[in-house]
Structures are given as structure tokens and as C-alpha cells.
Amino acid sequence: DKGARNVEILKQPQYTPFPVEKQVAIIYLGTQGLLREVAVSKVKEFEAHFLTEMENKLPDVLA
């Protein structure tokens, strides 16, 4: 399942890639096993929520 989750986090909307800092944050979650409790079908939903929380609470990290 880790491989399937990592594939999901690498998917991006066509013609609108994420900024590098957001890509790094998401890839970090996947490579460190922090998504292991998230169902593969919910990874994109979790990713969107995670990035929103990061933007709101820790904007300097994504700057």
C-alpha cells in the first residue's frame, strides 16, 4: 500500500503542477510513512487538507 500511496501523492493536475515547496511537503509525508493510516482512495483528499492546514498555520514553511 505504501507504493500505491506514493503513486497517488505524485499525481498532479495537468498544466497546474504544485510549487516545489508543496511537492516536498507531500513527498516527505509519503517517504516517512506518515500516510500509512490513510486509505489509498483518500490520499488526494488528505493531501488537499494537509496543504490547506500548512498554508494557514505554517505559511513560512511553504514559502
For residues 18 and 2, give the distance between their C-alpha atoms in angstroms, rounded to a whole number.
Answer: 21
Confidence of residue 1 (pLDDT cuts 50, 70, 90): confident
| pTM listed for this prediction | 0.87
In order of their start, the domains of the chain are 2-57 (1.20.150.20)
Among the listed residues 61, 15, 63, 17, the one whose alpha carbon sits nearest the alpha carbon of residue 29: 61
The pLDDT value recorded for residue 12 is 93
- The answer, yes or no, to whether residue 58 has pLDDT greater than 90, is yes
Query: What are the pLDDT digits (tens) for 9-47?
Result: 999 999 999 999 999 999 999 999 999 999 999 999 999
